[in-house]
Amino acid sequence: MTGLSDKVAIVTGAATGIGESIARRLFADGARLVLVGHGGRPLQDLARELDPGGDRALTVVGDVRDPECMRKAAALAEEAFGGLHIAVNNAGTPGPGGTLIEDLSLEDWETVIGTNLTGMFLSLKAELPLIARSGGGAVLNLSSANGIVGVAGLAAYTATKHGVIGLTRSAALEYADRNVRVNCIGPGYVATPRMSEMPAEALEALGSQHPLGRLATREEVAEFAAFLVSDRASFCTGGFYPVDGGYTAQ
């Protein structure tokens, strides 16, 4: 164990993808975890794999769009572990791809906005006061490289990821005097299990959009996430940090 052995963390969207890798990294660094996700079995399998004894990894199965989900997660962190020091708000959905605004249904728009932005708001609403009461700590929100550029055919997703940056900066200013740092990162395209379902030529095309010429690994994103929520990043707050292989430098 390393520098997080005295820390308690919530990770949303932890059952798979980037969230899973961040959860694994924080656990390896010594943190006690409350894992949140709507995929009950994968989430519980991850908790059992990480912590067979059930002492350091607990789960909350629910939807971040439901205020009770994140209230329950925060209450569990406090009751089981005595407080909360770190939150990684990763839960999100891309929504339909390649869809023009005129063809995007209101239902799909509301699903993406509800998960990526309202869910982020509800997560922060539950987490920030508890982190402050616990003596301070760090929040990391997952935006995207697409949070600072436009993407045709992904209007809802792009709008939410821009919104996450604004929400992050407002939260950082509101809680700076309470010793809570709030940042967000913007991954480029990442080699997740969901991405691996795409045809090889499509993955190669996505990788080629990054000047480094490939997709990111989940572990590369988790490495930077672990840095930003640790005391090594103690003077970083209100920031947006691309982890995108040069994608947004073009």
Tell me the average pLDDT of the chain: 96
Q: Count of domains in the chain?
A: 1
Query: What's the rounded Cα separation, in Å, for the pair 127 and 151?
Result: 31
Q: What span, in angstroms and rounded, lies between the C-alpha atoms of 221 and 190?
A: 8
Whether 69 is covered by a domain: the verdict is yes
Count CB atoms within 10 A of the CB of residue 68.
13
Is 26 contained in some domain? yes
> Rounded mean pLDDT of 119-148?
98
Q: What is the CATH number of the domain that holds 130?
A: 3.40.50.720
Per-residue pLDDT tens over the stretch 42-84: 999 999 999 999 999 999 999 999 999 999 999 999 999 999 9
Asked if residue 1 has pLDDT above 60, the reply is: no
Give domain status of residue 149, yes or no: yes
Residue 165 lies in a domain: yes
- Please determine, for residue 211, whether its predicted confidence score (pLDDT) is greater than 60: yes
Three-class SS of residue 8? strand
Q: Find the domain containing 213 and state its range.
A: 8-241
Domain for residue 43, yes or no?
yes
**Catalytic residue annotation:** 157
pLDDT reported for residue 29: 97
Compute the average pLDDT of residues 163-184.
98
- Confirm whether 188 is domain-assigned: yes
Instruction: Mean pLDDT check: name the lowest of 27-41, 186-200, 235-249.
Output: 186-200
